[in-house]
Structure 1
């Protein structure tokens, strides 16, 4: 089978140049941090390195397959995959650009190298945002389900869960499991992990074009997951506000619980709006 590559004009298209930008800036970000003499096993360091490496690898594969035009041979919904990687890459890279200077970057060691890594991470987030905008201008049949508003909400839900897991893992380091209120942190962790797993299952079904193989109709499948996410995040939001009140009364540090509460509320909003779309779609089909 002959290898088909893009035409010459495609190498100067906005999408091609943007993906090249993503690959280069992502590679620069994790290379600078990896080369720095920072011995750091912190969860935020792990999150940043995973984000840069994971999306660099995904984008490089997508870029390569787009050039040689082999993506049609892969049993994956290509239009849904590209939108998902672009939007999730923008959100995750933005988080890494915040977490790295806030919680990881040492002031006294290799400051210039780490500033350059932060700048490269910010440029990566901008590149993914630009790709998301370019893909959003395509026709709906080219964007797929993940390019619609309900699909975007599911990407936001997965992103919010990943941030909250990172924050709650860091919080566990400050809590003795034997303490009276440590159970709140572990309940939060279970809630976030459950929501992330449901989001991953949804992505696998959509990206693998497995909607016709579900035991339940796909719309009911999504409605059940979304309703579960709403209930879990309602519980998590109440616990987060309770922890804030407890820390205020004891004058404890709230530098982790406040971002977690904000992200928790944002994720709850995303699940609530998504549930409204699911219910509307369900009633629209029932009335037909």
Structure 2
């Protein structure tokens, strides 16, 4: 967990430094990605990554350190991680598109929702990294397929915008976004029903109570037991479904509403 947090902070520092160099050197035209879309996309990801580090680092690492300089340094790192998260979130709020403003897609609400959807999917993948959680039931394997397919589709939409390749699609890009959002909503709706049903219903081999899971009886500093993982995935599935529903509403307006 400490390594994950360190990776997050180093990655955010390195990319922010690159953005500063490009801005100060006036090299936006030579940058390989769309400069209208890249900075806010990165800022949104950085805010989410720093938020995760600000939660994970103190709860799974700092509280188990003995009192001393190392603990004080870790607390200071957590504090600055929270400040960085607020700074990135402020940048996203400040640079996002306003009504009537012409800007890149990633600065709009649907674009930012795409970032949230892919990030939540990545967290889901972290929780289901143990195949034991889903390989015993084909229905649960379908849920994993849903998470993977929707993640790939959202990532493709983001990459098309970052590379300014939206005109390469055989259909209009707004129609592609609406179809993508509708498909994802339908897929996630099935996962929201199937995952809790097969994980927490005894009739389908699930465990309705945490005490029934033997792996949850042993406390380990860096270990999240299987039942907690199942519950986290169920909650994250609901969060991503809400994000996709909001994405569908905004994307549909791009197609059917004429301003």
TM-score band by shorter chain is 0.7 to 0.9
Identify which of 143, 166, 169 aligns with 1:211. Answer: 166
Q: Does 1:92 align with 2:49?
A: yes
Q: Distance in 2 between matches of 1:136 and 1:280?
A: 18
Deviation at 1:176, TM superposition (A): 7.4
Deviation at 1:47, TM superposition (A): 4.1
Identify which of 155, 158, 172 aligns with 1:200. Answer: 155
Q: Does 1:107 align with 2:107?
A: no
Give CA-to-partner distance per residue, 1:124-149, whole Å, 9 cap, x none.
Answer: 21111121222238786564221212
- Two-structure CA RMSD over aligned residues (Å): 2.8
Deviation at 1:161, TM superposition (A): 1.1
Identify which of 92, 109, 120 aligns with 1:132. Answer: 92
Helix, strand or coil for the counterpart of 2:33?
A: coil
Q: Distance in 2 between matches of 1:48 and 1:220?
A: 38
Q: Does 1:282 align with 2:239?
A: no
Are the equivalent residues in 1 in contact too, given 2:40–2:107 (CA < 8 A)?
yes
Question: What is residue 69 of structure 1 aligned with on the other side?
Answer: 26
Are the equivalent residues in 1 in contact too, given 2:185–2:244 (CA < 8 A)?
yes
TM-score for the superposition, normalised by structure 1: 0.72
Question: What is residue 36 of structure 1 aligned with on the other side?
Answer: none
Question: What is residue 167 of structure 1 aligned with on the other side?
Answer: 127
Q: Distance in 2 between matches of 1:221 and 1:117?
A: 42
Are the equivalent residues in 2 in contact too, given 1:47–1:166 (CA < 8 A)?
no
TM-score for the superposition, normalised by structure 2: 0.79
Matches within 5 A, 1:228-267: 228-242=183-197, 243-245=199-201, 246-249=206-209, 251-252=212-213, 253=216, 254-267=227-240
Give CA-to-partner distance per residue, 1:194-239, whole Å, 9 cap, x none.
Answer: 2222222111111111111112221222123222321232232223
Flag structure 2 segments of 5+ consecutive residues without an equivalent. Answer: 217-226
Are the equivalent residues in 2 in contact too, given 1:140–1:147 (CA < 8 A)?
no
Helix, strand or coil for the counterpart of 1:101?
A: helix
Question: What is residue 38 of structure 2 aligned with on the other side?
Answer: 81
Give CA-to-partner distance per residue, 1:47-77, whole Å, 9 cap, x none.
Answer: 4344323322221111111111111222422
